[in-house]
Amino acid sequence: MSKNVRITTHPSFDVLAATTAARLITRLLDVQSERGEATVVLTGGSVGIATLREIAKSPAHLAVDWSKVNFWFGDDRFVETDSEDRNYGQAADALLNHIPVDPARVHAMAASDTVADLEEAVATYAQELALAAKTEWQNDDEASGEAPVVPRFDVLLLGLGPDAHIASLFPELAGIRTKGVPVVGVRNSPKPPPLRVSLTLETINSAQEIWIVAAGADKAAAVGLGLAGASEVQVPASGARGLNKTLWLLDEASAAKVPSALKRRES
């Protein structure tokens, strides 16, 4: 296994969410002290949203300058603004509505009642990413060549489905095979709702750090296959690799098929 892949297991779902929250707060503080601003890509799913709730509860979150954190989403369900299915709404309820964010730095994917169709939602998010990337590139004295199409992501969070999907990239479907574009529309998600917008694997893998968070026995096979280096088309999670680091943050149940020599335990 590549040396920048790390697996850490936690005794329970609650400890995993609390520890991931503490880890993210610390990472944001470190990045802000180096660069002034920090960028995180959020995920839906039970662990991802519980992590956001834990951040809001933690006194340590007051140390972060939330007005200088850029928020993006790895995927979202293409549903109406008020739908409870929307990852953005869940993230807002859990954290974003409770901290002093700069609304201009919170980049939700479009809801279905705000654009004409899925294609427009995909195009809009790609433009928003490109604009942020260009602004960042213009402000970087050391930048050269052409502006990238996506900004720097310091931490990109991913939930994991029992079928090993990440974001809305599902096994064997077109999304996981899509290359050369930053964002993809999904029309046939096997997990409802069927219409989704997702970052592509190339975009996901442009992140400095990817943190895959998973809990529950139903994820054990997906975790095992993801770490065994299975094909990314069949096991999308196995294709996720951060530029600097890839963390698998697991509970005991989801880590059941990870060889014990690879596990670090946090309790």
Task: Tell me the CB-side half-sphere exposure of residue 59, using CA atoms within 13 A.
Answer: 0
Which residues are within 8 A (CB) of 157 and not within 5 positions of it... i.e. 6 or more apart? 20, 24, 40, 41, 42, 43, 48, 51, 74, 211, 213
Regarding 160 and contact with ligand 6PG (CB under 6 A), the answer is yes
What CA–CA distance (Å, rounded) separates 223 from 206? 21
What CA–CA distance (Å, rounded) separates 202 from 221? 24
Taking CA 79 as the corner, what is the angle to CA 118 and CA 196, rounded to the nearest 5 degrees? Answer: 50
Q: Give the shortest CB-14-to-ligand 6PG separation in angstroms.
A: 13
Hey, which bits of 25-180 come out as E strands?
A: 38-42, 69-73, 75-77, 155-159
Residue 7 vs 50, nearer CB to ligand 6PG: 50
- x/- map, 179-218, ligand 6PG, by CB under 6 A: ------------x---------------------------
Residue 16 vs 31, nearer CB to ligand 6PG: 16
R_g (Cα) of the chain, nearest Å: 17
Q: Give the shortest CB-90-to-ligand 6PG separation in angstroms.
A: 9
Member of 45, 171, 175, 236 binding ligand 6PG (CB under 6 A): 45
Member of 43, 70, 112, 206 binding ligand 6PG (CB under 6 A): 43
User: CA distances (Å), 208 to each of 38, 153, 196, 199, 202, in order?
Assistant: 11, 6, 25, 15, 13
The residue number whose beta carbon is nearest to ligand 6PG equals 159
Residue 20 vs 43, nearer CB to ligand 6PG: 43
Piece of 15-23, 38-46, 96-104, 128-136 that binds ligand 6PG (CB under 6 A): 38-46
Q: Give the shortest CB-215-to-ligand 6PG separation in angstroms.
A: 6
Quote the DSSP letter at residue 37. Answer: -
Return residues touching ligand 6PG (CB under 6 A): 43-48, 75, 77, 87, 159-161, 165, 168, 191
